[in-house]
Structure 1
């Protein structure tokens, strides 16, 4: 279940993804499969080759891309989420959720 974001943030993320940009959207997320994780960041891009290349630098495998809904993305959580957001200069997205 996702919560903690505004519709405008979601629309902006979807627009950036569709334009072939690497876009990030962080929100609260609860899933019993991932205990201890309270947020997830979706790192998306409609240009699959660009997304694969971007993910490779962080050790992400192309098989991990979520292809639902015309918005291909990696789901980042835990230490991987924190490391990548820090490296991308976007740690404020995670800090916003006290993570």
Structure 2
């Protein structure tokens, strides 16, 4: 279940993904499979080659790209989520969602 984002944020992310940009959308997330995880960052891009390269450049396995919707994305969760957000200079995501 996703929550903690505004419709405008989701729309802006979708537009950026459709333009072939690497786009980031962080939101609160609860899933019983991951009881200690409370946020996820969706790294999306309609250009699958570009998104795969982004994954490889960050040491992430591109085979886990979700490509079953109009908005291909890789889900960042756990400790790497914060590290990559910092690497990408997306400190507002870290601060807003109080990632420790």
In 2, Cα distance between the equivalents of 1:72 and 1:61? Answer: 14
Alignment of 1:42-53 (within 5 A): 42-53=42-53
Contact 1:28 1:40 in 2 (8 A): yes
Alignment of 1:57-96 (within 5 A): 57-96=57-96
Q: 1:3 is matched with which residue?
A: 3
Please, what TM-score do these two structures have when normalized by structure 1? 0.96
In 1, Cα distance between the equivalents of 2:13 and 2:79? Answer: 22
Which ranges of 4 or more aligned residues in structure 1 deviate by more than 2 Å?
Answer: none
In 2, Cα distance between the equivalents of 1:33 and 1:91? Answer: 27
**Structure 1: any 5+ residue segments left out of the alignment?**
none
Aligned to 1:69, what secondary structure does the other structure show? coil
**Structure 2: any 5+ residue segments left out of the alignment?**
none
